[in-house]
Structure formats: C-alpha cells, structure tokens
Homo-oligomer: A and B are copies of this chain.
Amino acid sequence: MTTTRSAGVSEELEPHGRSAKKRRAILEAATEVFLQKGYLATNMDEIAALAAVSKQTVYKNFPNKEMLFVEIVSSVTNRASDRVHSKMPELAEGEDIADYLQRYAYRQLTTVLTPRVMQLRRLVIGEVGRFPELAKALFDGGPGRAIAAMAVLFERLADRGLLAIDDPAVAASQFNWLIMGEPLNRAMLLGDESIPKPAKLRRHAAAGVRVFLASYGK
C-alpha cells in the first residue's frame, strides 16, 4: 500500500492527492485517445501530452501500454453498462404495456447509441484478436446483461398476465434485436453521424414494439 494519508470516505473513491489527480488525468487522456484512434495507432507520448504529464509519470502509474489500455477499456465498459442499467423504467400504475415497452426500448436506444459507446464497441471489436477478454466483458456487460435483465422483467410481466411468454430469455433477445439491430449496425459501420434523431428513434421503437406485441401481447 502507498501512504494512506488520512482516509476520508470520499477520498477512497476519488482521492485528492497530487498523484491521484495525475493518475486520473492520465486515465482520462488515455480514454480519449484510445477510443478515438485505437490501440496500435495510439502512442504514449500523445497520452502524456494530453494529460499534461511527463511520460515518466505515465509509466509510474501503469506498467505498460497494454495494461493501461485494458484498464481504460474495462472502466469505460463498466461505466457504460452501469449507466444503461441504472434507473430502468418501471411499469406505471395502469400504464399501457405498449407504451411501457416503447419507453423501455427508447431508453435502451438512446443510452447505447452514443458516440462514446459506439466508439467503445468498434474499438473492442477491432481488438477481439488481441484482447478477447475485453470483448467478453463487453458482451457480458452490454447485450448480455441487458437481455438478462429484460428476461426477468418479461417473466414478471408474464406472471402478472400482461404478456404471453413461454421462454422469457428468447423473447428478451428477440425484443432486444428487433429494437437495437438496425440502428446499432448502421451506427457501427456508418459512423456516429448516422445515429438517428430522437424522433426517428421513437418511431423505430414503436414499430419494433408493435411486432413484438403481435407475438407476445395479450
């Protein structure tokens, strides 16, 4: 352990020490550059410069480029995953199931179709060969987690007699890709400018929910 000077609780999560601040600056800079240029095209000098820190300080905090990369990608992945899964919309009292599913779908769309998240996906996919663990982590924390959460939700709704679902996992996966497939693939290949505007996403979500409910509605 390094000199734990006086551990206020807030300092535990985000310490104010000089070193800690620099460390965070490095992480921030590295995130920026790695996400934008990819692993190989990124060089450590640029990270140091952007963090306004000497190269030496970078290497005092992280053993090498690879470790730094893994750390920032894991961190961004986890943050994004948590953001998607916090404040999941609840079914309001007496709310129409279609409206509810549309809200759910729309929320999913807007939290995933973000330049940051899309860059992360592209980056990780491009590095599947070099860093398969990162891809696995993104899979588990992204679509995997989302679909699993949706499955338990669907099961509850089915129990309440609001949906006619035999296999919640299958239904959740179908719902997910009915909603996310098209815009996700588009944004993946055509870049962040191709992300549809909110109004369009709303219509897209509505169309997907319509199909879903034709099969699983009551």
Q: For A136, give the chain B residue with the smallest CB separation.
A: B190
A173 at the interface (CB under 8 A from B): yes
* CB-based contact B129/A189 at 8 Å: no
A170 at the interface (CB under 8 A from B): yes
A210 at the interface (CB under 8 A from B): yes
In the complex, which of the residues B127, B173, B182 contacts A182, with contact meaning CB atoms closer than 8 Å?
B173
* CB-based contact B181/A176 at 8 Å: yes
Contacts of A124 in B (CB 8 A): 189
A143 at the interface (CB under 8 A from B): yes
Q: For A137, give the chain B residue with the smallest CB separation.
A: B189
* CB-based contact B174/A207 at 8 Å: yes
A38 at the interface (CB under 8 A from B): yes
**Smallest CB separation, A45 vs chain B (Å):** 17
Contacts of A190 in B (CB 8 A): 135-136, 139
Q: Which of A103-139 contact B (CB under 8 A)?
A: 122-130, 132, 135-136, 138-139
Contacts of A132 in B (CB 8 A): 191
* CB-based contact B40/A189 at 8 Å: no
Kindly state the separation between the CA atoms of A182 and B170 in the bound complex, as whole angstroms.
10
Q: Which of A36-61 contact B (CB under 8 A)?
A: 36-38, 40-41
Q: For A179, give the chain B residue with the smallest CB separation.
A: B177
Q: Which of A160-218 contact B (CB under 8 A)?
A: 170, 173-174, 176-178, 180-182, 185-186, 188-191, 207-208, 210-212, 214-216
**Smallest CB separation, A26 vs chain B (Å):** 22
Listed by A's residue number, 24 A-B pairs whose Cβ atoms lie within 8 Å are A36-B129, A38-B40, A41-B130, A122-B125, A122-B126, A123-B126, A125-B188, A126-B126, A128-B188, A128-B189, A128-B191, A132-B191, A135-B191, A173-B182, A174-B208, A176-B182, A177-B177, A177-B181, A177-B185, A178-B211, A180-B181, A181-B181, A211-B216, A215-B215
Given contact pairs A124-B189, A173-B182, enumerate 7 new A-B contacts (beta carbons under 8 Å): A38-B126, A122-B126, A122-B129, A135-B191, A136-B190, A139-B186, A177-B180
